[in-house]
Structure 1
Amino acid sequence: MTSEPRFQSSTSLDVVGIGNAIVDVLVQTDDSFLQTHGLQKGGMALIDETQAERLYKASGPGLETSGGSVANTMVGIAQLGGKAGFIGRVRDDQLGEIFSHDIRAVGARFDTPAATSGATTARCLIYVTPDAERTMCTFLGASTQLEPEDLDLSMVREAKVLYLEGYLWDSPAAKRAFIAAAEACRDSGGQVALSLSDGFCVDRHRESFLDLVNGHVDVLFANDVEIMSLYETDDFDTAVKHVSGCCRVASLTRGAKGSVVLSGDQRWDIGIVSLGDLLDTTGAGDLYAGGFLHGYTQGESLERCGQLGALCAGQIVTQLGARPQVSLKQLAATQLP
């Protein structure tokens, strides 16, 4: 069952995402490796290029694939049959070529020219322990040097939804690009969606994020840690009360407890979808957002949007890496007819 149309029929893209263009290096390891290198299990640490090279050399064999939170979401949308575009900065190097090829190969539009100077392409070392927990060490490199002039605003104006990641707020240049794109999207009748990205990111930018959530964002994505951090509470239900009504839709994921979708005074509790053994939680939130936004831009009910998000998240945690190795479109057709 679909709701009333939410968007203009003239838009040619469903979702355009702006985020960090990162190549993920996924390595299966054990707790002793984390301890040896002083890595906090389950955390996300920003590292410099020297640290990135040192850890990379010390790691065992890994899977290299283009990543980045919003880029993963765009790939999910494209795999579901939606029309997705991505804007992000890479360098003209080997990792930049890997990123560009991977995201285009799945059908997402990526037109941002590679930089010919400055930092190298970003990479994220993701250490997955036997309990499926992931520990991330990220060198942001070229991705943080995204400038407003790198934006293809014509692409932004073609989108039903512009999807932005909170990590962009860490870089003044990317923050300016973020604001310019949001204004262009709104002026063209589109909606703006935001992912809070990370609890530590929320801690760094709480006041700015509160301002965004209160009137500048249509669709908010956050996990339980992030939304509780935003409102400085250790109680999830208290955070839900605070965010209710602040934006058009809020979608809050809770790991094994499923997710909660809010709109006005309505609430839907969505269960998880179990499709196999839990292997790697990398990208679960990203693919949840992909499923949700695909349903949202196709006019599905918010409950069904949450169910599609849960299905995509349920698939991605059964494999290594954040890029689906099965057809999400076929999976949705069989699991959510």
Structure 2
Amino acid sequence: MTQPTYDPPRFDVVAIGNAIVDVLSQTDDAFIAQEGMAKGSMQLMFSPEEADALYAKMGPGVEASGGSAANTVAGIAALGGTCGFIGQVADDQLGEVFAHDVRSVGIRFDTPVRAGAPTTGRCLIFVTPDGQRTMNTFLGAGQFLPAAAIDRDLIADAAILYLEGYLWDPEEPRAAMRAAIEVARKAGRKVAFTLSDVFCISRHGDDFRRLLSDGLIDILFANEAELTALAEVEDLEGAVARISPQVATLVVTRGAEGAIAIQHGARAQVSAEPIERVVDTTGAGDLFAAGFLHGQAQGKGLEASLKLGAICAAEIISHVGARPQVDLKTLAAR
């Protein structure tokens, strides 16, 4: 079948990722240590019983739709971009909450719901007084996103396809994302990929390196730890030197140190935006990606796109939760 071509694309970004509802709760370092969690990281829970047991230990929580790639397109939509999202929810209450939240901000979301077990995914997030978030994720229905659910016309109609490394772990959505990459490339669109977490690289680093060496990724997002793990070196500059020649645009976030990007050999960097207090770092990387991708989709330069990413990340870490709570368009205009 001939792949349809849309020129120009009607959507700025279409993302494929975990469809998850976040539950956020304040805690302390002692609880993190007591439960054997690695502070500031994400670990998977493999059964609803495990998720229920940890949920029972949480203090008062705040529920909000999340998922890394979903957070990113929510940020882009808040900036005025046009977006779509592909992700699997179950036919349950959490699935309805997720779908409502995504559609309410203008994101196209048409993935059919999945009947039966398991439930829609959830992420139990513990936030310590220093603002660090430690995530425990039950992927639920999200790990069964089939290639058949990929909306090929939607992907071909987007300037950028954005994929999250978290979803690379389960076999079925991994195959779905490979199919999506093929659709995007045949349509002449860009493919962006976020490494998501060091644990993703420990499990699938060879796959990620092959995507780069095969020229399938145009924009790669990583934090410093992820990039050094991918490059299998200990220092940032060594990692940048090894990875940047393999991708048209490399974006590296560095927390309080800001961010750098290398695009076709040109390098830019920005400082982190100042804020009064870091409340919760959940979604910082997701919203940085939102600002950067929106800037690129709007034809902004490398430094301007980094700046927009830093502005969005600063807004997110100033409150609990990974979705914007102020008008990002107003912030960006300033």
**TM-score bucket of the superposed structures, by smaller chain:** over 0.9
Q: Give distance in 2, aligned partners of 1:303 and 1:38.
A: 40
**What is the percentage of aligned positions where both structures have the same residue?**
50
Partner of 2:150: 151
Which residues in structure 2 correspond to 1:14-93 (within 5 Å)?
14-47=12-45, 48-93=47-92
1:226 Cα deviation from its structure 2 partner: 0.5
- Asked if structure 2 preserves the Cα contact closer than 8 Å seen for 1:17 and 1:162, the reply is yes
CA apart distance, 1:222? 0.6
| Segment of structure 1 superposing worse, 318-327 or 47-56 | 47-56
Larger deviation, residues 236-245 vs 283-292: 236-245
For structure 1, the residue ranges without an aligned partner over 5 or more in a row are 1-6
Deviation for aligned residue 1:8: 7.3
Distance 1:131 1:24 in 2: 19
**Residue 12 (structure 1) aligns with:** 10
Matches within 5 A, 1:165-176: 165-176=164-175
Question: What is the one-letter code of the residue matched to 1:265?
Answer: G
Matched with 2:303 is 303
Aligned length: 328
Where does the alignment leave 5 or more consecutive residues of structure 2 unmatched? none
Give the secondary-structure state (helix, strand or coil) at the position aligned to 2:246: coil
Partners of 1:143 and 1:284 in 2: CA distance: 22
Distance 1:225 1:179 in 2: 25
Please say if residues 8 and 160 of structure 1, whose CA atoms lie closer than 8 Å, have aligned partners that are also in contact. no
Q: Which residue of 2 aligns with 1:136?
A: 135
Residues 171-224 of structure 1: per-residue CA shift (max 9 Å, x gap): 111111001111111111211000011011011111111111221100100110
C-alpha contact (below 8 Å) 1:22/1:124 kept by paired residues: yes
Checking the alignment, whether the CA contact within 8 Å between 2:6 and 2:157 is kept in structure 1 is no
Counterpart for residue 163 of structure 2: 164
Matched position secondary structure for 1:109: coil
Output the CA distance in 2 between the equivalents of 1:164 and 1:239: 21
**TM-score, normalised with respect to structure 1:** 0.95
CA distance in 2 between counterparts of 1:280 and 1:295 reads 24
How large is the Cα RMSD of the aligned pairs? 1.3
Task: Give the TM-score, by structure 2 length.
Answer: 0.96
Q: Which residue of 2 aligns with 1:94?
A: 93
Post-superposition offset of 1:41 = 1.9
Check the 8 A contact 2:198/2:229 in 1, yes or no: yes
1:292 alignment partner, SS class: helix
For the 8 Å contact 1:202–1:226, the answer to whether it is kept is yes
Q: What is the alpha-carbon distance in structure 2 between the residues aligned to residue 272 and residue 177 of structure 1?
A: 35
Cα offset, 1:277, TM superposition: 1.1
Q: How far apart in 2 are the matches of 1:238 and 1:83?
A: 36
Q: Which moved more, 1:136-145 or 1:111-120?
A: 111-120
Find the aligned partners of 2:179 and 2:65 in 1 and give their Cα distance.
26
> Does the 8 A contact of 2:25 with 2:60 survive in 1?
yes
Report the more deviating stretch, 24-33 or 76-85.
24-33
1:38: Cα distance to partner? 2.6
Distance 1:271 1:213 in 2: 27
Write the deviation string for residues 150-174 of structure 1: whole angstroms up to 9, x where unpaired. Answer: 1111111110000001122211111
